[in-house]
């Protein structure tokens, strides 16, 4: 992906305004002033989000032999959340900043240690516990919770999936979908919302089982627990030096970084950070976060926790359903351990890809250099001038291509303006119908990233676009 004339990355407020202006994302209930922490995905945002989720599912579920996917309910039996510990302990501490007087939230472990974004100290006398789950009525007299993570549905269905799909350890179960948290201080656009989506995997092993996979060959900034400065190194080196203690952690960190790289992200903007002991969640014995260098600082993009056998044991205890599996060698039964839980927020990943793609060309022109798999619109079709024979060819191409992809047909304005409109929303290829299309059945295809143009026969168009969009053919190789 060629990046041209990167002038500056937008602030989070500029990105919010850009996404609204172009039809990606707006505050939910905007016409009534919006509701903090809730966002609506419009005609481009919904396509972008679906493309991201499909790419995640393809990479993590369909292309692997050892992972199956599920789609659980948003409201489930409330005992699921008692067993998991959420009812008792899923809370933050509400605090008010002494300097700017704004409300903020801290984790229980951070009380007295972290400061407000303005640099001010939090007033400890204002601190009070704040439960994060949304409670709702179910029928006339029952109640339920909107799920605060997708993970528990995986644990509650573990035996049904493991036995039903005849899985063998090591193996994983994946889920993507909505999660809800009554965040005290939603902020930074879609970075922290009250309604969001997660893409999660619970990866199960036999206790002490070694990772049979190679650690991906990835270099990244590494910030180990207790260190103040990150160091660039390969994941293999970090594991060899025992900075990343478990082979499984090094492997999954590598997988997740490879996923971002496969969709065009520059890994120089990422780092991995190990949680300090007091930061670890109640269920976790080790956790590494993938962080991204957002305009508002290094922030958590994805958590990769070791959850041990905590959740399956809890569900076995509360539901009285056996969560054990059979060890084929020793014929003993045991509860598998979750060695890694790669848990990624859709909104945060989407924000990363927006920042990675956002570039300014020449003076004012914004170009979104999305990987074509993510682009909300794949192809723009333009008749060069408003003449019936040009438009007939254009419409026939448009109707044919839109059976496969999201395609737009645009006949208004100068051709330069039409290209610019598509560049701004990240459309990777534009097709122009001109005099040669009428005379000799060729069209011009233009590459967003280089602005290079090539002539191509109409009958070859669909096949060629298919290869270009999935990275199977370099544009320069077109004759």
Which stretches of the chain bind ligand GAP, using CB under 6 A?
149, 151, 181, 183, 192-193, 196, 198, 200, 300-303, 341, 343-345, 347-348
Whichever of 177 and 345 has its CB closer to ligand GAP, that residue is 345
Least gap, CB of 284 to ligand GAP (angstroms): 9
Written as one string, the DSSP assignment of 142-177 is EEEEB-S-SHHHHHHTHHHHHHHTT--SSEEEEEEE
Whichever of 185 and 395 has its CB closer to ligand GAP, that residue is 185
Whichever of 246 and 361 has its CB closer to ligand GAP, that residue is 246
Structure tokens at 328: 């084929």
For residue 277, how far is the Cα from the chain centroid? 26
Whichever of 196 and 251 has its CB closer to ligand GAP, that residue is 196
User: Which residue of the chain is nearest ligand GAP when measured via CB?
Assistant: 345
CA distances from 67 to 127, 170, 434 (A): 42, 9, 49
Q: Which DSSP category does 340 fall into?
A: E
CA distance 147 to 177: 10
CB 17 within 8 A of CB 372: no
Least gap, CB of 335 to ligand GAP (angstroms): 19
Residue appearing with tokens 């999954």:
252
Whichever of 15 and 193 has its CB closer to ligand GAP, that residue is 193
Residue appearing with tokens 């438009």:
391
CA distance 418 to 436: 20
CA distance 272 to 227: 12
Least gap, CB of 148 to ligand GAP (angstroms): 7
- For residue 140, give the 3-state DSSP assignment: coil
Least gap, CB of 304 to ligand GAP (angstroms): 9
CA distance 56 to 50: 10
Structure tokens at 405: 């992809």
Least gap, CB of 179 to ligand GAP (angstroms): 7
Least gap, CB of 302 to ligand GAP (angstroms): 5
What region does 403 belong to: left with phi over 0, alpha with psi -120 to 50, or beta? alpha
Whichever of 181 and 446 has its CB closer to ligand GAP, that residue is 181
Q: Note the helical H segments in 304-426.
A: 310-319, 346-357, 388-401, 415-425
Whichever of 39 and 251 has its CB closer to ligand GAP, that residue is 39
Whichever of 192 and 361 has its CB closer to ligand GAP, that residue is 192
Least gap, CB of 36 to ligand GAP (angstroms): 12
Least gap, CB of 151 to ligand GAP (angstroms): 4
For Cα atoms 305, 146, 284, give the angle at the middle one, nearest 5 degrees: 15
Q: Which DSSP category does 308 fall into?
A: B
Least gap, CB of 52 to ligand GAP (angstroms): 13
Written as one string, the DSSP assignment of 104-135 is EEE-GGGTTT---TTSPPEEEEEEEEEE-PPE
Whichever of 122 and 196 has its CB closer to ligand GAP, that residue is 196
Least gap, CB of 346 to ligand GAP (angstroms): 8
Whichever of 200 and 306 has its CB closer to ligand GAP, that residue is 200
């Amino acid at each position: 992906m060629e990046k041209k004339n990167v002038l500056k990355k937008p602030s989070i407020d500029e990105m919010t305004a850009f996404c609204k202006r172009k039809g990606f994302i707006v505050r939910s209930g905007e016409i009534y002033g919006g509701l903090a922490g809730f966002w609506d995905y419009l005609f481009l945002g919904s396509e972008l989000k679906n493309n991201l989720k499909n790419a995640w599912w393809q990479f993590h579920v369909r292309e692997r032999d050892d992972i199956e996917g599920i789609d659980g309910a948003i409201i489930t039996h409330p005992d699921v959340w008692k067993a998991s510990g959420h009812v008792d302990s899923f809370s933050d501490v509400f605090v008010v900043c002494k300097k700017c007087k704004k409300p903020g939230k801290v984790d229980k472990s951070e009380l007295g240690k972290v400061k407000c974004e303005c640099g001010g100290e939090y007033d400890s006398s204002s601190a009070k516990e704040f439960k994060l789950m949304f409670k709702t009525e179910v029928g006339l007299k029952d109640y339920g919770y909107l799920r605060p993570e997708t993970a528990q549905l995986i644990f509650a269905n573990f035996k049904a999936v493991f036995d039903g799909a005849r899985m063998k350890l090591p193996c994983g179960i994946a889920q993507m979908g909505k999660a809800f948290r009554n965040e005290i201080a939603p902020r930074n656009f879609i970075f922290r919302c009250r309604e969001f989506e997660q893409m999660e995997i619970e990866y199960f092993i036999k206790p002490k089982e070694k990772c049979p996979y190679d650690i991906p060959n990835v270099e990244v900034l590494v910030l180990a627990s207790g260190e103040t400065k990150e160091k660039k190194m390969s994941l293999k080196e970090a594991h060899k030096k025992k900075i990343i203690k478990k082979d499984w952690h090094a492997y999954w960190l590598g997988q997740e970084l490879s996923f971002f790289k496969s969709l065009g992200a520059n890994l120089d903007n990422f780092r991995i950070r190990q949680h300090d002991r007091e930061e670890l969640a109640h269920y976790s014995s080790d956790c590494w976060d993938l962080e991204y260098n957002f305009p508002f600082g290094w922030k958590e993009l994805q958590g990769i926790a070791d959850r041990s056998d905590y959740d399956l044991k809890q569900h076995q205890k509360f539901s009285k359903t056996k969560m054990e599996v059979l060890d084929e060698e020793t014929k003993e039964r045991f509860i598998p351990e979750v060695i890694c839980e790669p848990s990624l927020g859709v909104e945060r990943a989407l924000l990363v890809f927006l920042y990675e793609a956002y570039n300014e060309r020449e003076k004012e022109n914004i170009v979104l250099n999305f990987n074509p798999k993510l682009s909300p619109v794949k192809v723009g079709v333009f008749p060069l001038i408003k003449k019936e024979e040009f438009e007939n060819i254009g419409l026939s191409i448009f109707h044919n291509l839109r059976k496969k992809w999201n395609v737009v047909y645009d006949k208004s304005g100068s051709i330069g303006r039409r290209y610019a409109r598509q560049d701004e929303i990240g459309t990777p290829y534009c097709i122009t119908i001109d005099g040669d299309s009428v005379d000799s059945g060729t069209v011009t295809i233009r590459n967003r990233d280089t602005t290079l143009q090539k002539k191509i026969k109409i009958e070859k168009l669909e096949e060629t676009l298919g290869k270009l969009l999935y990275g199977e053919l370099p544009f320069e190789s077109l004759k």
